[in-house]
Amino acid sequence: MHDSSTTLSDRSGVTDAVRAQILATEHWSLLATRSMTWNEMFSRAAMFLTVLSAAVVALALVAQATGFGPGFRSFALLVLSVVLLVGLVTYLRLSYANIQDAGLLRGMNRLRHAYLELAPELEPYFVTGHHDDEAGMMQSVGLGARFSIIGQLSGTPELVAVIDAVVAGVLAALVMEAFGVLGAVNLAVGVATGVAVEVMLSAGTLRRYARVRHDYHPRFPS
């Protein structure tokens, strides 16, 4: 491993032009990988919303045919269980994709740091970060120099988590109704289940982010 305190211009063996070409190739590779990651995230979220929409339409048709009878409840339990499973899997994949994207962003910041070692006079023209610590990464995504919990909790994974919580709450209420529990108790169980699922998923996301932040040690801090 090279000493990070040694600049690119101090290392012999290749010219600056070759170094710049190698760095640019790696930069475009990371950019393409980030694009693929974001496309997968949007595709996953769209797939889940499509499944959810289809389930709602199917439930409406069955409700009209059965008059919200026992057949509707059985069908709803089956369909919403599938929707919840798809939603939870989607949420987990989106959460890990965010972590993967952060790693790619960190790599791009390192490459910008290398660019500025080759041409330090270009620093005033860089609007994104060129350090691989938290402040540099936040600069690259336009969030300033601080980690934003609100920004993390308002992303696509947490939007899916909210929908999962609602589906889980409705599913819990249907289960209670199947056991003959109706009225305020049924409603309270549904709300409590939804809140519990949302808190559990959000807490899991924050723990994963905190673990990544704790385990990572930047090579080019600000």
CB of 165 within 8 A of CB of 195? yes
Is the model's pLDDT at 95 over the cut of 70?
yes
Rounded CA separation 111/82 (Å): 44
What are the extents of the domains in the chain? 11-215
Is the model's pLDDT at 211 over the cut of 80?
yes
pLDDT tens per residue, range 25-58: 999 999 999 999 999 999 999 999 999 999 999 9
Task: Look at residue 144 in the predicted model and tell me its pLDDT.
Answer: 58
Stretch 18-25: mean pLDDT? 91
Could you tell me what percent of the chain has a pLDDT over 70? 88
Would you put residue 68 in left (φ > 0), alpha (ψ -120 to 50) or beta? left
Exposed / middle / buried, residue 93 (Cβ in 10 Å: 0-12, 13-18, 19+): middle
Is the model's pLDDT at 6 over the cut of 70?
no
Tokens 């919840």 appear where? 84
CB of 114 within 8 A of CB of 8? yes
What sign has the CA pseudo-torsion 150, 151, 153, 159? positive
Q: Which residue has the higher pLDDT, 200 or 2?
A: 200
The confidence band for 172, taking pLDDT boundaries of 50, 70 and 90, is very high
Task: Look at residue 2 in the predicted model and tell me its pLDDT.
Answer: 47
pLDDT tens per residue, range 118-171: 999 999 998 888 998 888 888 888 765 555 566 666 778 888 999 999 999 999
Task: Look at residue 47 in the predicted model and tell me its pLDDT.
Answer: 95
Stretch 176-201: mean pLDDT? 89
Which residues have C-beta within 8 Å of that of residue 64, sequence separation ≥ 6? none
Stretch 49-75: mean pLDDT? 90
Lowest mean pLDDT among 100-109, 137-146, 185-194: 137-146
